[in-house]
Amino acid sequence: MAKLTFHGGVHPWDGKALSKDKPMKAIVPQGEMVYPLSQHIGAPAVPVVKKGDRVLTGQKIAEAGGFVSAPIYATVSGTVKAIEPRRVVTGDMVNAIIIDNDRLFEEVSYTPNDPEALDKKEIVELIKEAGVVGMGGAGFPTHVKLSPKEPEKIEYVIANCAECEPYLTSDYRRMLEEPEKLVEGLKIILRLFDNAQGILAIEDNKPDCIALLGGLVENEERITVKALKTKYPQGAERQIIYATTGREINSSMLPADAGCVVDNVDTIVAVYHAVKEGRPLMNRIVTVTGDAVRDPRNFYVRIGMNYRDLIEEAGGFKSEPEKVVSGGPMMGFALFDLDVPTTKTASALLCMTRDEVSMMEPGPCINCGRCVEACPGRVVPRRLAVIAEHHDAEAFVANDGMECCECGCCSYVCPAKRQLTQSIKSMRKTVLANRKKQG
Amino acid sequence: MSSILKVSSNPHVRSKDTTARIMQYVVIALLPAAAFGVYNFGIHALLLILTTVATTVLAEYIYTRCMKKKSSIGDFSAVVTGLLLALNLPPMAPLWIGVIGGLFAIIVVKMLFGGLGQNFMNPALGARCFLLISFTSIMTNFDCDAYTGATPLAVIKSGEGSVALTDMIIGRTAGTIGETSMIALLAGAVFLLVMKVIDLRVPASYILSFAVFVLIFGGRGIDGTYLLSELAGGGLMLGAFFMATDYVTRPITKNGQYLFGIFLGVMTGIFRLFGPSAEGVSYAIILGNLLVPLIEQVTRPAAFGKRAVRKGGKQA
């Protein structure tokens, strides 16, 4: 049988060996904790505490600022020190709640539920209240994803276990160490969609996960494990839908339009915690890795912790890093300052001794077509980049520039080392901003 | 931490491919044909190759210096142009032909249009056609120590005499320095295919459509020897694998590449069968080069998810 895959894509060095065999390790946070009010797509959360308030672990400190929004919970006990703008991974200053950690870790109590006894509305409400958002990187509020207009038309709930970004092993560890939670979480989501099948879609570079989860769902009628060809960006939403179901959606469609719901591993585990244990989203797995880190490994991190502390826990730097990336090397954000908090969407911290990109000088395009071959969006990156450099918004849209998913494949393969993704990305931003302006 | 971190847009890793490495692979792939040319035609062929390559590289270097630009010879594209041009010259052509051709290729066809990636025509072929028109008698005289008389294709076309197919495939015939040996050219082509520098889209559609054209219009029915002679003769192998595949001057879209190949096959067939000359590859390719922008326009791929918009889905 042909392997499940998609058109285009690249095979960068995966770097996963650095951290894949390191079990998840919990970190006890020491210093102040920072909770940006925008850790998700949609309206910022609204603080429900004020300076000087004492809060407990698991206490809500900000509530959703609208339907497409998510509440935020304290992950330590302590006192609210301030509510002020702080720098986040994108480099922007975002309003944040700062809590002085008293290291007592006094926790509120949670009410566990029997998912079988809950109705659909109650399940979605629990997920919404827990502040669950897409933890693969996008941060789209999960309760919105799970509330499509016609839930009976959802045919597949896809657990995105691809983890196609190089270096990242957080989902891998989660699958190996807590596979039951993933399966239980998926079963809870399947309760919302009567006509849906659950798919655990895993890249075939993780045969142990495929075997483990395959065994677990052997007797589950509604869940199957599907092995995907290992190729970046196999875990991109549109690509994983295509690989598992053969359905194509474009940028202006939702997965629900193809009868699909896609959720990342950590998100599904968060759903499990929210519904079964009644616990809000407070933790995530973060891979701290790269050749500049002494002891690359996977951490069970309380959201709000400073990146500096994560690196400290990984033994610090063994060599001075030239570049530190929040996320993977293909789509992550380069940081200019390590003094930023871990958010709900932070999957990794990649510390590189050398920044190979800055040593490469872009040369003229030779029209080789490698970008066209690699583009999973099936656009012509070379042409879009030229249009973008001329700021021709109309031509950009006409040439399907908005179909770009910013995966970085075109820049990766370019032998002339041109910044194709960057040009296309900034033009997309401009077009989106203009659309917003015009309403 | 004291030092300042570097910040740039994603991705933060890059493939090992570089423009220079690709060009170096092309040079390596052309070496068997060049070596065979020297073996076949003698030392003058070697001198001609060296002169032409030296001219193209120097011309590019001096041009960039005069224009106060950074020298671009490090990308090896000038070496490729020089080598390709030399392989397209008759073995006994005077050395100044290589110099004039090299200057024309680099200065007129390549640099005046903006250098690498900006030329709309393959520089080596542009120069060859310029030389063919300007110095026709020199450029069509294939007499040398080893061979006198017409090239195999001319023999076939005139219908007088016969050609030895084995000699054509090995390359023991009259012709330009690099075009005669089908085996040497295919060896280089296989290397480029294995190194993923080129793919078969353009060469295969070119050669296949040309073969079909010859079978239909050649007037000799299904004649294997005749067909193979047409494929092995002239510049077809050199053109199809090394010049029609030139990145800069072939379409970037997949379907465009098939279309381009078919166009070249048909044009080569027309030129060879119905034109005054027995050759047609060079003109077919530069004519095809001119159509590239149009071909790219009509063969733009449908973006992912825009081919089959599912029922109930929104149209973008």
Q: What is the ipTM of this complex?
A: 0.89
Q: Write b or e for each residue in A96-130: b if 16 or more Cβ atoms lie within 10 A of its Cβ, otherwise e.
A: bbbbbbeeeeebeeeeebebeebeeeebbebbbbb
Find, in chain B, the residue whose alpha carbon is nearest to that of A369: B252
Cα separation of B232 and A412, whole Å?
39
Contacts of A417 in chain B (CB under 8 A): 14, 18
Task: Chain B: give the shortest CA distance to residue A219, in Å.
Answer: 33
Euclidean distance between CA atoms A426 and B291, whole angstroms:
31
For an interface test with B, which of A360, A378, A396, A413 has the most B Cβ atoms less than 10 Å from its Cβ?
A378
pLDDT of residue B314: 42
B75 contacts in A (CB within 8 Å)?
A: 363
Establish, for the pair of chains A and B, how many residue pairs have beta carbons separated by less than 8 Å. 195
| CB A202, CB A245: distance < 8 Å | no
Chain A partners within 8 Å of B256 (Cβ)? none
Q: Please judge whether B13 and A321 are an interchain contact, meaning their C-beta atoms are less than 8 angstroms apart.
A: no
Distance in Å, alpha carbon of B306 to nearest chain A alpha carbon: 6
Measured in residues, chain A has a length of 439
Sheet holding A46-47, edge to edge: A46-47, A60-63, A72-73
Closest partner residue to A412 (CB to CB) among B11, B116, B314 is B11
Question: Are the beta carbons of A357 and B301 separated by less than 8 Å?
Answer: no
Strand (E) or helix (H) holding A429: helix A420-437
Q: Are A422 and B9 in contact (CB < 8 Å)?
A: yes
What residues of B are in contact with residue A322 (Cβ under 8 Å)? 3, 5-6
Specify whether the CB–CB gap between A297 and A19 falls below 8 A. Answer: yes
Q: Please name every residue paired with A287 in a beta bridge, in sequence order, or none if there are none.
A: A298, A348
Contacts of A258 in chain B (CB under 8 A): 310, 313
pTM: 0.92
Q: Which positions in chain B touch A355 (Cβ < 8 Å)?
A: 6, 8, 12
CA distances to A189, A204, A346, B69, B109 from B61, rounded to whole Å, are: 65, 50, 49, 10, 15
Question: Do A329 and A12 contact (CB within 8 A), yes or no?
Answer: yes
Which of A150, A367, A400 is best to mutate for the B interface (most B CBs within 10 A)?
A: A367
Q: Is A227 helix (H, G, I), strand (E, B) or coil?
A: strand
Within 8 A of B248 by CB-CB distance, chain A residues are: 366-367
CB contact under 8 A, B316 and A402: yes
Q: Could you tell me if A344 and A142 are in contact, meaning their C-beta atoms sit under 8 angstroms apart?
A: no
Quote the minimal CA–CA distance from B296 to chain A in Å: 10
Give the per-residue pLDDT at B308.
57
- Whole-angstrom distance, CA of residue B266 vs CA of residue A169: 54
Minimum-distance CB partner of B117 among A257, A335, A366: A366
Residues of chain A scoring pLDDT < 50: 1
Name A160's bridge partners: A201, A264
Q: Do A257 and B1 touch (CB under 8 A)?
A: no
* CB contact (8 A) between residue A372 and residue B21: no
Cβ of B1 and A338 within 8 Å? yes
CA dist A182 and A361 (Å) reads 44
The answer to whether the Cβ–Cβ distance between A419 and B9 falls below 8 Å is yes
pLDDT < 50 positions in chain B: 1-2, 309-316
B110 DSSP assignment: I
Question: Under the phi-then-psi rule, with left for phi > 0, alpha for psi from -120 to 50, and beta for the rest, what region is A430?
Answer: alpha
Q: Which of A12, A257, A409 is nearest residue B313 as measured by Cβ atoms?
A: A257
* Sign of the Cα pseudo-torsion (A146, A148, A152, A157, in order): negative
- Interface test with chain A among B14, B16, B299, B300, by most A beta carbons within 10 Å: B14
C-alpha–C-alpha distance, residues B118 and A353, integer Å: 36
Q: Give the one of B12, B116, B296 whose C-beta lies nearest to A334's C-beta.
A: B12
CB contact under 8 A, B22 and A366: yes
Smallest Cβ–Cβ distance between A356 and the set B1, B14, B313 belongs to B14
Chain B residue closest to A381 (CA)?
Answer: B252
In angstroms, the separation between the Cα of residue A229 and the nearest Cα of chain B is 19
Per-residue DSSP letter, A338: S
Beta bridge partners, A324, equal A335, A351
Burial class (CB in 10 A: 0-12, 13-18, 19+), A138: middle
Name B192's bridge partners: none
pLDDT tens-digit readout, A327-352 = 999 999 999 889 999 999 989 999 99
What are the boundaries of each domain within chain A? 115-277, 370-437
Residue of B15, B18, B80 for testing the chain A interface, max A β-carbons within 10 Å? B15
Contact criterion met (CB < 8 Å) for A417 and B117: no
Q: Tell me yes or no: is domain A115-277 CATH 1.10.3720.10.
A: no
B12, B17, B310: residue with CB nearest A257: B310
How distant is the Cα of B1 from the closest Cα of chain A, in angstroms? 8
**First CA to last CA distance, chain A:** 48
Q: Residue B97: helix, strand or coil by DSSP?
A: helix
pLDDT at B131: 96
Whether A194 contacts A237, CB under 8 Å? no
> Which one of A380, A412, A419 has the shortest CB-CB distance to B15?
A412
Name the residue with tokens 């090299």.
B102
The enclosing H or E element of A352 equals strand A348-352
Q: How many CB atoms within 10 Å of residue A380?
A: 24
List the one residue out of B75, B93, B95, B41 whose CA is nearest residue B247.
Answer: B75
Strands (E), A136-210: 156-161, 197-203
Question: Chain A residues with CB inside 8 Å of B9's CB?
Answer: 334, 419, 421-422, 425
- C-beta atoms of B312 and A257 within 8 A: yes
Q: Say whether B304 and A376 touch across the interface (CB within 8 A).
A: yes
Contact B83, B188 (CB under 8 A): no
- Tell me which of A6, A167, A323, A357 to substitute to probe the interface with B (most B C-beta atoms closer than 10 Å): A357
CB contact under 8 A, B310 and A411: no
**For chain A, give me the number of helices (H) and strands (E)?**
13, 17
Helix then strand then coil, % of chain A, to nearest 5: 30, 20, 45
Cβ pair A327, A166 in contact under 8 A: no
List the one residue out of B45, B77, B47, B50 whose CA is nearest residue B64.
B77
Q: How would you label A34-44 residue by residue, b for 16+ Cβ within 10 Å and e otherwise?
A: bbbbbbbbbbb
The 10 Å CB-count burial string (b at 16+, else e) for B166-187 is eebbbbbbbbbbbbbbbebbbe
Sequence-separated contacts (24+) of B299-302 with Cβ below 8 Å = B299/B251, B299/B253, B299/B254, B299/B255, B299/B256, B299/B259, B300/A380, B300/A399, B300/B253, B301/A372, B301/A378, B301/A379, B301/A380, B301/B253, B301/B254, B301/B255, B302/A378
**Helical (H) or strand (E) element with B214:** helix B201-217
Using an 8 Å CB-CB cutoff, list chain A residues near B308. Answer: 248
Domain B20-298 has CATH 1.10.3430: yes
Domain boundaries defined on chain B? 20-298
- B108: phi > 0 → left, psi -120 to 50 → alpha, else beta; which? alpha
Integer angstrom CA distances of residue B243 from A104, B26, B159, B304: 73, 11, 29, 31
B273 phi/psi in degrees, rounded to 5: -85, -35
Q: What residues of chain B lie within 8 A of the CB of A335, using their CB?
A: 5, 7
Contact residues on chain B for A247, CB-CB shorter than 8 A: 310
pLDDT at B3: 60
Q: Which string of DSSP letters, residue by residue, matches A6-67? A: -SS-B-----GGGTTTS--EE----S-EEEES-SSSSSPPEE---TT-EE-BT-EEEE-SSS
